[in-house]
A and B are shown apart, each in its own frame.
Chain A
Amino acid sequence: MTASNNLTHEGAPTMAGATYNFAYLDEQTKRMIRRAILKAIAIPGYQVPFASREMPMPYGWGTGGVQVTASIIGPDDVLKVIDQGADDTTNAVSIRAFFQKVANVAVTTRTHEATIIQTRHRIPETPLKSGQVLVYQVPIPEPLRFLEPRETETRTMHALEEYGLMHVKLYEDIARHGYIAKTYAYPVKVEDRYVMDPSPIPKFDNPKMHMSEALQLFGAGREKRIYAIPPHTKVVSLDFEDHPFEVQKFSEPCAICGSRGIYLDEVILDDRGGHMFVCSDTDFCEEQRNEH
């Protein structure tokens, strides 16, 4: 029953329980997940329930994204995994190592080299191209969940396109603060139909989803939902005519590569309030440095 690297690409394990299938999941499970993905692509922004499996990492660590990646990955794929925009955060390292072990695929930190990019909380700064797939790890797929805790209610609201509650919430923010006080997991409307949670990416990344050339897949393992944005799909961040959607702007450039107009992490330097701003996307930062 112990896991080993002695993998088979065929389907069934070679010895009873002695090995795991290519990319960990059994072929039946992959088919089930692929069906959910196809349905999700056919109805952009709609949350498709799927029979999420227990994965060998905990719920909350990206089990949804891992299941999506495991279902679409093939031996020729090149995988990149990021967490908080970086390839070297511990969980990104762990997930990348997992796929190296169970699928023996090539991995990269280069955004443009990857065919599949699994991400948590960021979209790479380098624009994605046709043929690439961005797989998001999603904690709470339901954008209406914080307004209405019941699944039976929110499903009905989506079915009836009843999004008044969400607009009221955004309006209340404006009434109180003068602007919409939502900085991440900022809700979007997909192809003029479904309101969708973009996962907890900073709203800075929202515009990158719009008309992207890449396929965007979202996997929520614990909540058992998959949704998708096919390439060239309209993705609009919710706003009001007199309060248009705006993204975060940083006054400083990246302290390492000097780039502007990108998302930055604040790094604390000492205990006297000293800090600096650096690129959140580590690959982008490295590329900028190499160019100059």
Chain B
Amino acid sequence: MYVAVKGGEAAISNAHRLLADRRRGDRDVPDLRIDQIAEQLSVGVDRVMAEGSLYDKELAALAIKQARGDLIEAIFLVRAYRTTLPRFGYTQPIDTEDMLVERRVSATYKDLPGGQLLGPTFDYTHRLLDPELAHDKQVDKPVTREGEHEKVVRVSSILAQEGLIEADGEMPEGRVPGDITRDPMEFPMERDTRLQALARGDEGFLLALAYSTQRGYGMNHPFVGEVRIGEVELEFEVPEIDFAIPLGTVQVTECQMVNKFKGSAKVPPQFTRGYGLVFGQSERKAMAMALCDRALRAGELGEDRTAPAQDEEFVISHADNVQATGFVEHLKLPHYVDFQAELELVRKMRAEQAKAASDAFDLAAE
């Protein structure tokens, strides 16, 4: 006999209890500490900070622990916390030329002012599993460069000296940069808000789109002008004080992609740029973002928009993994009212079809 589905509350609470148990796993294995995650899974932490749009290694590490290592779930936890924080204001734009560079490579010049700095990269490691890592392997101290911190000129500035590349561009007078977390997005977007959306966009989604441009779906002939990773200082302007106050530093990855451009009636042939900037160390994301940024500038540069990566509504509407995972996964919520309606309709259609078939049979038999 029908039993009303009561007891949702108890079910939810028991499910959460089981989840907590599974998250913790075998109690004989030591509990993961937040600092262990922050120190030893730092690239994952960086991704959570970048796509969670909140620069806080501890919170990101906590989110990863709570999410059992599910990074999108961790990103969601961070976002849901971030949105409750009061907004004091906006920092001054960061100056990446003044970055304390840990890694900086350019694919367009063999050598250049500031040099090529490999930094902590996986690039030339051989991907052989290291059995020694299974134990607490002793790690040598790194070799670091001596000397004073110097500004490292950006490759785009070098190219700009000959006018070979489009200029940085100035924000129009009186225009305040948008904030996609405070104002609803509207299409078509300005580049500032579009870059914000890309910066918190899903790494995998942007990677796939960037890859598609390389395979001919919206080709934009890219060169890595440079990728740099390092610490930049944040400054905050307080109305009561005449000068900007330093707040501290954040680590960012910046990618300047240089792209061929054949020129137009108004502009001589020159290189154009795609730009990527991400919290923490994430070259893959910064490069993918730069390729997508350039692809999305097709309209602005008078190119044909033919590929998915060039389609702003398509790219931006689907780049956010917290939204995407929510809507995809919500399909598991009850839909039985709508399903009932569809069930009735399909039964009706089947009955009609069966009747039509039997009528036709009767007609043929006569």
Chain A residues with CB under 8 Å of B363's CB are none
| Residue-wise interface mask of A (75-96) relative to B, using a CB-CB cutoff of 8 A (1 in contact, 0 not) | 0000000011110111111100
- Please measure, in the bound complex, the distance between the C-alpha atom of A89 and the C-alpha atom of B326, giving whole angstroms: 19
> Is B216 part of the binding interface, using a Cβ–Cβ cutoff of 8 Å?
no
Assess whether B239 is interfacial by the CB under 8 Å rule.
Answer: no
Report how far A51 CA is from B322 CA in the complex, Å. 16
- Residue picked from B4, B6, B11, B187, most chain A C-beta under 10 Å: B4
- For B187, give its contact among A12, A56, A88, A152 (CB under 8 Å): A152
- The answer to whether B329 touches A58, judged by C-beta atoms less than 8 angstroms apart, is yes
A181-B345, A202-B341 known; A60+B8 contact, CB < 8 A: no
From known contacts A121-B337, A152-B188, infer whether A53 and B83 are also in contact, taking CB-CB under 8 Å: yes
In the assembled complex, which residues on chain B have CB atoms less than 8 Å from the CB atom of A183? 338, 341-342, 344-345
The answer to whether the Cβ of A219 comes within 8 Å of any Cβ in the partner chain is no
Q: How far, in Å, is A92 (CB) from chain B's closest CB?
A: 7
Residue of A nearest to B334 (CB): A84
Selecting from A124-132, A190-198, A235-243, A261-269, the interface stretch reads A261-269
Interface residues of B in 44-100 (CB under 8 A from A): 59, 76, 79-86
B184 interface residue, CB < 8 Å from A?
A: yes
Query: Which residue from chain A places its CB closest to the CB of B338 in the assembled complex?
Result: A184
Partner of B9, one of A85, A97, A122: A97
CA distance A210 to B322 in the complex (A): 36
B15 to chain A, nearest CB (A): 9
Residues of A close to B325: CB separation below 8 A:
58-59
Q: Known: A184-B338, A266-B340. Is A92-B349 also a contact (CB below 8 A)?
A: no
Measured between beta carbons, the chain A residues less than 8 angstroms from B338 are 121, 183-185, 200, 202
B184 contacts A49, C-beta separation under 8 Å: yes
A139 to B328, CA, bound (A): 11
B176 at the interface (CB under 8 A from A): no
Looking at the assembled complex, report how far the CB atom of B345 sits from the nearest CB atom of chain A, in whole angstroms: 5
Quick check: A224 and B333 within 8 Å, CB to CB?
A: no
Min C-beta distance of B203 to chain A, whole Å:
18
- Contact call B330/A59, Cβ cutoff below 8 A: yes
A156 to B327, alpha carbons, bound, how many Å? 26
CB–CB B336/A265 < 8 A: yes
A41 close to B (CB within 8 Å):
no
Question: Across the two chains, which residue of chain B brings its CB closest to A179?
Answer: B348
Give the distance in Å from the alpha carbon of A11 to the alpha carbon of B183 in the complex. 21
Cβ of A218 within 8 Å of any chain B Cβ, yes or no, is no
Q: How far is the CA of A240 from the CA of B25 in the complex (A)?
A: 61
- Bound Cα distance A177, B60 (Å): 54
The CA-CA distance from A255 to B2 in the complex, in Å, is 9
A79 to chain B, nearest CB (A): 15
Alpha-carbon gap, A233 to B223, bound state (A): 59
With the chains together, A185 CA to B335 CA distance in Å?
12
* Pairwise interchain contact B335-A51, C-beta atoms closer than 8 A: no
B-binding segment of A110-118, A160-168, A274-282: A274-282
The docked-state distance in angstroms from the alpha carbon of A183 to that of B322 is 30
* CB-based nearest A residue for B53: A54
Chain B 157-201 residues near chain A, CB threshold 8 A:
181-188
A94 with B12: in contact, given A183-B338, A203-B341 (CB under 8 Å)?
yes
With A183-B341, A263-B337 already in contact, the answer to whether A90 and B323 are too (CB < 8 A) is no
Enumerate A193-233 residues with CB–CB distance to B below 8 Å: 200-204, 222, 224
Instruction: Decide yes or no whether A245 CB sits under 8 A from chain B.
Output: no
* 23 A-B interface contacts by CB (under 8 A): A52-B184, A54-B82, A58-B330, A59-B326, A60-B331, A83-B333, A83-B334, A88-B8, A90-B8, A90-B334, A94-B12, A97-B12, A150-B313, A181-B345, A181-B349, A183-B344, A184-B337, A248-B344, A255-B2, A263-B337, A264-B340, A265-B337, A266-B343
* Those 10 A-B pairs whose CB atoms lie nearest each other, nearest first: A60-B330, A59-B326, A183-B341, A49-B184, A58-B326, A93-B8, A54-B79, A60-B326, A184-B338, A54-B83
Other than the known A54-B76, A224-B185, what 11 A-B pairs have Cβ atoms closer than 8 Å?
A17-B85, A24-B84, A51-B183, A54-B80, A59-B322, A59-B323, A60-B326, A61-B333, A139-B330, A200-B335, A269-B1
Identify the A interface with B (CB < 8 A).
Answer: 1, 12, 17, 20-21, 24, 26, 49-56, 58-61, 63, 83-86, 88-94, 97, 120-122, 139, 149-152, 177-178, 181, 183-185, 200-204, 222, 224, 248, 255-256, 263-267, 269, 276, 278, 280, 282
